[in-house]
Amino acid sequence: MRFFLLGNDRKPQVRAEAARLRPLLERAGEVVAFDLRQEQDLSGLVADLAIVLGGDGAILRAARQMGYRQVPVLGVNLGKLGFLADLSPDELVACLPQVLRGETRVTSHLMFECDYPTPGGRATVLGLNEVVVHARTIGHVSELELGIDGEPVTHFTGDGLILSTPVGSTAHSLSAGGPVLSQELPAFVITPICPHTLTYRPLVDAAGKRYTVTVRRAEGAAVTADGQALGRLAEGDVVAVRRAGVAFHLVKVAGRTYYQTLRDKLRWGTPPNYRTEPPAG
């Protein structure tokens, strides 16, 4: 097998875990790329598996590095929540023989293309989590118009709009009050940020449509994708989001399901620590 060994070396333990894993991978095959700074362009390389150390942010960067040649990713969580990177380093070592034998499931997930204005014209970026059109300064608001397949849907005043994939639904969108979507669902969710009327609610719609956000009034508006600043926006600027022609692939080992991850990370179903009797003494 051919491997990418990637990670965010700003996270504690990443270098140590990479040093522990690399000999195991080299005995099983070839490490085509070893990049803990996540600076290498991987789009021209071929591999069978990408092992990413760090957290969900490291996986987002790895997806950008791979571009339109996505390699299945196995994420190892050395960060915080880790909805995508849901294995611990010890769990990875324990299940590595199973992974090398191909006894895993690979899931496919929606990616997006964001087309946005630049000083020189327009540019397109590939992403996995979300696009956010937002005010750059606290206290400033933006007036935005949402369009779907060319039809005006709403004129929105507030701090911004989030257009999220199902994978990104447990990130910024969830914090803004959006729903949790099943990760393999072919849909986008549009979540308002601090709307200036209580009638606005998150909207879930099909992935095959084209979504546009037009800036009708801006006091310092900007656009970001997967947490990366793309640029400032002016009145009349349009940001367009559509389904990408490539999917993100995630390796799932036996015994780890999405619902288990939700229970673990969001503490769903954790029994409350009720005290039924007064403490002794």
Predicted pLDDT at 278: 53
Q: Quick one: 102 and 180 in the same domain? A: no
Q: Quick one: 104 and 122 in the same domain? A: no
**Could you confirm whether 56 is annotated as catalytic?**
yes
Predicted pLDDT at 60: 95
| C-alpha count within 13 angstroms, C-beta hemisphere, residue 154 | 16
Report the side by side order of strands in the sheet with 221-225.
203-206, 187-193, 160-164, 130-135, 221-225, 228-233
Predicted pLDDT at 138: 66
Give the residue numbers spanning the domain of 168.
112-243
Mean predicted lDDT score pLDDT of the chain: 90
Digit-coded pLDDT (tens) for 170-189 = 999 999 999 999 999 999 99
Distance from C-alpha of 173 to C-alpha of 207, rounded to nearest angstrom: 16
Whether the predicted pLDDT of 270 surpasses 80: no
Predicted pLDDT at 136: 77
Q: Quick one: 118 and 78 in the same domain? A: no
Q: Quick one: 202 and 121 in the same domain? A: yes
Distance from C-alpha of 279 to C-alpha of 281, rounded to nearest angstrom: 6
How many domains is the chain partitioned into structurally? 2
Task: Please give the average per-residue pLDDT across 100-112, as a whole number.
Answer: 93
- For residue 278, is it within any domain? no
The pair of structure tokens assigned to 38 is: 């996540």
- For residue 281, is it within any domain? no
Task: Please give the average per-residue pLDDT across 239-266, as a whole number.
Answer: 87
Predicted pLDDT at 273: 58
Q: Count Cβ neighbours within 10 Å for each residue of 154-180 and write b for 16 or more, e otherwise.
A: bebbbbbbbbbbbbbbbbbbbebebbb
DSSP at 254 = T
Task: Please give the average per-residue pLDDT across 53-77, as a whole number.
Answer: 94
Q: Quick one: 201 and 258 in the same domain? A: no
Predicted pLDDT at 271: 62
Q: Quick one: 130 and 235 in the same domain? A: yes
Q: Quick one: 199 and 145 in the same domain? A: yes
Q: How does residue 14 score in pLDDT terms, banded at 50, 70 and 90? A: very high
Digit-coded pLDDT (tens) for 21-63 = 999 999 999 999 999 999 999 999 999 999 999 989 999 999 9
Judged by average pLDDT, the poorest of 66-75, 89-98, 126-135 is 89-98
Q: How does residue 254 score in pLDDT terms, banded at 50, 70 and 90? A: confident
Residue 22 sits in a domain whose CATH number is 3.40.50.10330
Listed in order, strand segments (DSSP E) in 1-111 are 2-7, 30-35, 49-54, 73-77, 105-109
Q: Quick one: 166 and 120 in the same domain? A: yes
Distance from C-alpha of 80 to C-alpha of 141, rounded to nearest angstrom: 31
Q: Which residue among 35, 56, 226, 237 is the active-site one?
A: 56
Residue 169 sits in a domain whose CATH number is 2.60.200.30
Residue 92 φ/ψ, nearest 5 degrees: -65, -45
Q: Quick one: 88 and 193 in the same domain? A: no
The pair of structure tokens assigned to 158 is: 């507030």
Q: Quick one: 133 and 39 in the same domain? A: no
Q: Which long-range contacts (C-beta less than 8 Å, at least 24 apart) are formed by 36-40?
A: 36/6, 36/7, 36/8, 36/9, 37/9, 38/6, 38/7, 38/8, 38/62, 38/65, 40/65
